[in-house]
């Protein structure tokens, strides 16, 4: 029985890693919400859309269709913009430089949520982000809110960034995460918060393998509960 799995949480808690591993184990579709905002940004750049013109933004969004399709050979979930696989292009620096600005636009966020909800109609989906269990899928069968000790998150993020930026310091990373946490939790549109029925996953002292085992256990519990509920309905 397929369900929707919504994963929210702070930066550098491993949300995407868990979401991808769950999707692979369950043969579900993984939805990368960040890729969606990047694809929208790519379209705006290609079409020369002014971010300061609400009418232009709204009109452009009406011409955008987003889909995720699984590559059968690699198992990777690719994003399609108007039937074009743009997974490679959305990683360009020109897109990275603009995506935060685009994602902050209310109309863009509302559009993305509508697209995400449309994708979830068929179930069998894992999505991670900041507002998945509270805004996008408030009725998701399994909601997970991920967190970790701040210093653990700083260390993880530092190791990731050091590979490409050896001049980065722990203090810079710490400041960046603190600012992101504040913005995510205090923004007007879809702030980060734990849904009341979300299961808390603190992975400060957990391995990836242990984290995945716990999440799969929760999936099995939810599916068993749904089976039992359906059986009772038939009585």
Q: What is the pLDDT of residue 235?
A: 61
Q: What is the pTM of this model?
A: 0.80
How far apart (Å, rounded) are the C-alpha atoms in residues 154 and 131? 22
- pLDDT digit string, tens, across residues 134-176: 999 999 999 999 999 999 999 988 887 787 778 888 998 898 8
Q: What is the pLDDT of residue 122?
A: 80
For residue 172, CA distances in Å to 9, 11, 136, 162, 187 come to: 21, 15, 32, 12, 22
| Averaged confidence pLDDT in the chain | 89
- Judge contact between 28 and 5, C-beta under 8 A: yes
Taking alpha carbons only, the member of 55, 45, 36, 43 closest to residue 103 is 36
Taking alpha carbons only, the member of 133, 42, 161 closest to residue 91 is 42
Q: What is the pLDDT of residue 180?
A: 75
The SS3 call for residue 7 is strand
Q: What is the pLDDT of residue 226?
A: 83
- pLDDT digit string, tens, across residues 62-96: 999 998 887 777 767 789 999 999 999 998 878 87
Enumerate domains of the chain plus CATH numbers. 1-28+124-235 (3.40.50.300), 31-123 (3.40.50.300)
Find which of 23-32, 188-197, 201-210 is predicted with most confidence, using mean pLDDT.
201-210
How far apart (Å, rounded) are the C-alpha atoms in residues 76 and 71? 5
The SS3 call for residue 193 is coil
The whole-angstrom distance between residue 112's C-alpha and the CA centroid of its chain comes to: 11
Residue 190 pLDDT exceeds 80: no
The average pLDDT across 98-103 equals 84
Strand positions, DSSP E, the chain: 4-9, 29-32, 66-70, 77-81, 84-85, 125-129, 142-147, 199-202
The whole-angstrom distance between residue 31's C-alpha and the CA centroid of its chain comes to: 7
Non-local CB neighbours of 45 within 8 Å, separated by 6+ positions? 94, 95, 98
- Judge contact between 51 and 102, C-beta under 8 A: yes
């Amino acid at each position: 029985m397929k369900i929707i799995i919504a994963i929210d949480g702070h930066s550098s808690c491993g949300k995407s890693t868990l979401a991808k591993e769950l999707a692979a184990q369950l043969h579900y579709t993984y939805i990368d919400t960040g890729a969606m905002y990047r694809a929208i940004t790519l379209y705006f750049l290609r079409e020369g859309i002014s971010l300061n013109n609400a009418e232009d933004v709204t009109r452009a969004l009406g011409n955008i269709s987003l889909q995720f399709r699984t590559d059968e050979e690699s198992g990777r979930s690719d994003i399609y913009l108007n039937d074009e696989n743009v997974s490679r292009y959305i990683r360009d620096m020109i897109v990275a430089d603009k995506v935060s600005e685009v994602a902050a636009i209310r109309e863009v966020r509302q559009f993305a949520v509508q697209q995400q909800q449309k994708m979830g109609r068929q179930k069998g989906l894992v999505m991670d982000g900041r507002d998945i269990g509270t805004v996008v899928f408030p009725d998701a069968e399994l909601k997970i809110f991920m967190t970790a000790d701040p210093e653990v998150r700083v260390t993880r993020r530092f190791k990731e960034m050091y590979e490409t930026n050896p001049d980065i310091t722990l203090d810079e990373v710490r400041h960046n995460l603190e600012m992101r946490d504040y913005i995510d939790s205090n923004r007007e549109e879809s702030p980060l918060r734990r849904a009341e029925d979300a299961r808390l996953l603190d992975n400060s002292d957990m391995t990836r393998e242990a984290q995945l085992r716990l999440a799969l256990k929760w999936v099995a519990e939810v599916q068993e509960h749904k089976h039992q509920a359906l059986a009772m309905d038939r009585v």
